[in-house]
C-alpha cells in the first residue's frame, strides 16, 4: 500500500514556527488567565427594573419558609400553558413578548483557543452592567435559549430585562456536558467578565446543562468572575461543599418541578437544606405539580436576578 503524502519543509523552519506560535499562545493564555483571576466582582449592579411583571410573576405562593428563601409556587398546566399559549408549548400569546430586542441580537462564533463556541448574544459585547449565560440541556443548542415564543415567552422576557438594564445575555451551543464543555463555558465566562470590565456574570444551567454549572463550581478562577448561579431542574451535586464555589459562598438559586421524573426534586431540596444549615446564600423555588421543563418556563427571571445581584 502506498504511503500517504507528507508535507515537507526546510529543516527547523516548522519547528521554529511551532515554537514561536506556542510561545505566543502561552503568553496570551497566561495574560488572560491572570486577568480573569483578578476580575472578582467589585461592584453590585443596580436592581433590574420591571418588564411585564404582571404576566410573569408567580401567581400564588402555597408555602414560604426560611425568610422567603424556600417557596412552593402554585403551578397549573391549564392556566400556565393552555391559557398562556396561542399554541400550547409552542407559541405564547403575543402580549407576552416584545420583539424589538431582536435588533440587538446576533449569532456569532467566539474563538477560544482551537475551539470556537457558537453563541447567540443579545445586548452589547462590551461594558455590560451584568451578564447572564444560559446553558441548555441535552439535545439543545443556542436556539433554545434564544426562542422568543416557546417556554411561555420566558426567554424573550430575559432578553428584554437584560437589554433594558444595560446587561448582556448569552445563549451558547454546548457541545458536551463533560470537561470539554466546562472548558468552553469557562472561556465564555472569562470573555464576558473581561468585556464587561468586571461586571457580575450569572451562570444559569437547565436540566443536564447543570453538569456544566457543577463543573464550573470547581474552578476557582471562574468562580471569582461569577456573581451567582442558577440550577433549573437539574441534578444535585453531593460534593458541592468541596468546591471553590462553596468556599467563596457563591449565591445559588434553585428552581424545580415537584413532579420532575428526570431529576427528582427531593435530591435538590436536600442539597438546599444542607447548604441552608450552614447559612449559605441559597434560595429554592419549587413549582407544585410542575414537571421537568417547568422551571425554564416559569422561573421569574427578574426576581431571580435581583436576588443574586443583591447578595
Exposure on the CB side of residue 148, measured as CA atoms within 13 A: 14
pTM here is 0.86
pLDDT, tens digit, 9 for 90 and up, residues 108-159: 999 987 789 999 999 999 999 999 999 999 999 999 999 999 999 999 999 9
As given in the structure block, the three cell numbers for residue 46 are 443596580
Q: To the nearest 10°, report the CA torsion of 275, 296, 36, 309.
A: -60
Residue 282: which of 105, 57, 66 has the closest Cα?
A: 66
Residue found by looking up cell 427528582 in the block: 264
What is the average per-residue pLDDT within 168-176? 97
CA-derived radius of gyration, the chain? 21
pLDDT, tens digit, 9 for 90 and up, residues 46-59: 899 999 999 999 98
What is the average per-residue pLDDT within 27-37? 44
pLDDT above 60: residue 38: no
What is the average per-residue pLDDT within 101-111? 97
Residue found by looking up cell 514561536 in the block: 20
Q: Which helix (H) or strand (E) holds 294?
A: helix 294-298
Amino acid at each position: 500500500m502506498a504511503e500517504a503524502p507528507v508535507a515537507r519543509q526546510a529543516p527547523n523552519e516548522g519547528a521554529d514556527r511551532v515554537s514561536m506560535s506556542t510561545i505566543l499562545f502561552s503568553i496570551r493564555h497566561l495574560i488572560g488567565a491572570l486577568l480573569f483571576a483578578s476580575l472578582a466582582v467589585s461592584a453590585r449592579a443596580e436592581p433590574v427594573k420591571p418588564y411585564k411583571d404582571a404576566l410573569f410573576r408567580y401567581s400564588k405562593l402555597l408555602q414560604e419558609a426560611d425568610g422567603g428563601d424556600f417557596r412552593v409556587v402554585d403551578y397549573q398546566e391549564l392556566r400556565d400553558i393552555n391559557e398562556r399559549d396561542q399554541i400550547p408549548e409552542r407559541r405564547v400569546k403575543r402580549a407576552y413578548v416584545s420583539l424589538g430586542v431582536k435588533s440587538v441580537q446576533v449569532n456569532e462564533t467566539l474563538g477560544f483557543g482551537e475551539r470556537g463556541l457558537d453563541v447567540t448574544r443579545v445586548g452589547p459585547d462590551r461594558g455590560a452592567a451584568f451578564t447572564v449565560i444560559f446553558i441548555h440541556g441535552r439535545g439543545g443548542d443556542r436556539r433554545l435559549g434564544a426562542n422568543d415564543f416557546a417556554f411561555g415567552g420566558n426567554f424573550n422576557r430575559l432578553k428584554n430585562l437584560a437589554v433594558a438594564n444595560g446587561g448582556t445575555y448569552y445563549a451558547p451551543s454546548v457541545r458536551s456536558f463533560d470537561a470539554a464543555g466546562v472548558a468552553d463555558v469557562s472561556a465564555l465566562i472569562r470573555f464576558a467578565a473581561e468585556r464587561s470590565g468586571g461586571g457580575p456574570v450569572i451562570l444559569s444551567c437547565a436540566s443536564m446543562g447543570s453538569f456544566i454549572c457543577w463543573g464550573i463550581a470547581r474552578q476557582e478562577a471562574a468562580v471569582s468572575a461569577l456573581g451567582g448561579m442558577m440550577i433549573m431542574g437539574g441534578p444535585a451535586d453531593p460534593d458541592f461543599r468541596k468546591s471553590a464555589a462553596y468556599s467563596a459562598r457563591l449565591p445559588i438559586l434553585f428552581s424545580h418541578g415537584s413532579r420532575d421524573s428526570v431529576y427528582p426534586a427531593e435530591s435538590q431540596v436536600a442539597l438546599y437544606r444542607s447548604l441552608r444549615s450552614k447559612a449559605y446564600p441559597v434560595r429554592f423555588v419549587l413549582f407544585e405539580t410542575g414537571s421537568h421543563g417547568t422551571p425554564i418556563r416559569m422561573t421569574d427571571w427578574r426576581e431571580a436576578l435581583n436576588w443574586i445581584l443583591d447578595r
